[in-house]
Structure 1
């Protein structure tokens, strides 16, 4: 069997095509064409045709394309030297290519109008709905009640009991999904603030070791000062610990309040379910 040769993987073929491409672009450069009105348009046309024909594999099509490229080099060379017939021929070629491009674009627009829009898949619909929900909930509504103003005694429809969620130490009540964007931002900012304090705490522990070395050196040189280096670092470390403990205490109290809300919501949901069942049984008795 004959060996199948893929032109795009042939070094000789690639070298010939790239050499022709450079020659055509060189003819469209300011040094060769000057300020000719056809220079930019011709350069764009050369680039488009090479992108279109770069995947050709038919020997006859490749030969015709290379022949047309060599003829274009000669045509551009004669046009840049002032040949009027070649200049008119190049102008006709460019106008013809432009008209073909406009016709093709118009045909594509007509085809696009005839084709029915593709129905949105359920997954894409859910994704778009989630994006719209995040945009609507990017900011908290000014009249929105606090989450701690629960349980609500009067509701339209069946009561949905919230779920207490622990987001790495930050408690919040999840009413439904998807989660509001402003709630996600609040949780993220609290977690980043706590993590920054932890980073500062760890860095102060390292600084405390250096401060103790400074105090030892001051003691040896009898140049001790008040307050000492380690005392200042300890004060900063105690301040960071107090802030971390305070935020943890607030989160613990908030979690307890939210858990009490969940328990009360469960009790109200059970009572409402019992009342709903009694009403249904009473309605059935009346109908029978």
Structure 2
């Protein structure tokens, strides 16, 4: 069974097409001596559009026809560059005809859109677009926005929301409402990746410490003990990683306690505001 060859995966085919593409574009440059009568910008645009349109062709006959047309255009441009007025006019007519066909196709598509209006946007697409706009709006923290630990606010417009303390694999944060801001998700992801990298480093150093102890033991047996020993450097690095993990966990624990106090204070204010609204009703 013959092996199926995909043309755009062939290096030889790609090289030949790119060489033809560059040659055509070079022929359109002013430095190549192309006559002023030739519409250089429109010719370049035509070449780019055709190569972009035909770059995914799979049929051998279609590829051969497209390459043949490209080589004929290159030959026509070369003769026009050498002073062939007839060739320049012929090429301009080809460009004008292609431009006219493109305008006709665009007009036809506009008529189709007017005859067949587009389908109404589905609720799923509306939600997707709303999510995209929300992520763009919350990708960066507003410089004037207060910190989360500056809550509770004495007064709020509308109904006061009690935040929820959430534990994201050891990283605490307060969720005010959904959806979650994009910048908050980025901070949480960054903290989790940093902690995981430290854990990976810790495990790797723990293994390396065993090998370092074996090296020290071998040095003792061969009377070639060194100072500092192999294990001392690895042990210092391992202790440093342990300390960083312990310090970050302690900071997260302290932050979670502060956030929980914010939740309790918000709850107390909500109860106070609700009781204040009920009191005038009972008196009346």
TM bucket normalised to smaller = 0.5 to 0.7
Structure-2 separation of matches of 1:93 and 1:135:
45
Cα distance change on mapping 1:28 and 1:253 into 2, 3 Å: same
Structure 1 residue matching 2:144: 3-state secondary structure? coil
Deviation at 1:21, TM superposition (A): 4.5
Q: Offset of 1:126 from its aligned partner?
A: 2.0
CA distance in 2, matches of 1:130, 1:278: 41
What residue in structure 2 maps to residue 127 of structure 1?
128
Q: 2:75 aligns with which of 35, 52, 58?
A: 35
Deviations 1:165-188 (A, max 9, x none): 001100000001111111111111
How much does 1:193 deviate? 0.7
1:71-220 to structure 2, matched below 5 A, reads 102-113=103-114, 115-220=116-221
Distance 2:60 2:193 in 1: 57
Change in 2 beyond 3 A, CA 1:219/1:272 = same
Q: Deviations over 1:50-106 (max 9, x none)?
A: xxxxxxxxxxxxxxxxxxxxxxxxxxxxxxxxxxxxxx9xxx999888756543331
After TM superposition, the score normalised by the length of structure 1 is 0.65
SS of alignment partner, residue 190 of structure 2: helix
**Cα deviations across residues 194-249 of structure 1 (Å, max 9, x unaligned)?**
11110110110111011011101110121212221112111111111011001001
Q: TM-score scaled by structure 2?
A: 0.66
RMSD: 3.3
Give SS of 2:198's match: helix
- Structure 1 position 250 matched with structure 2 position 231: no
1:263 aligns with 2:258: no
Gaps of 5+ in 2: 1-58, 78-89
Of 211-220 and 107-116, more deviation after overlay is shown by 107-116
Q: Structure 1 CA distance, aligned partners of 2:152 and 2:126?
A: 33
The alpha-carbon deviation at position 276 of structure 1 amounts to 1.9
Instruction: Provide the rounded CA distance (Å) in 1 between the counterparts of 2:273 and 2:121.
Output: 39
Q: 1:157 aligns to what SS in structure 2?
A: coil
Report the alpha carbon displacement of residue 272 of structure 1 after superposing the two structures with TM: 1.3
Structure with bigger gyration radius: 1
Q: Distance in 1 between matches of 2:60 and 2:198?
A: 62
Aligned equivalent of 1:67: none
Q: Which runs of 5+ in 1 are unaligned?
A: 1-17, 38-87
Aligned residue in 2 for 1:276: 277
Q: C-alpha distance in 2, partners of 1:19/1:147? A: 64
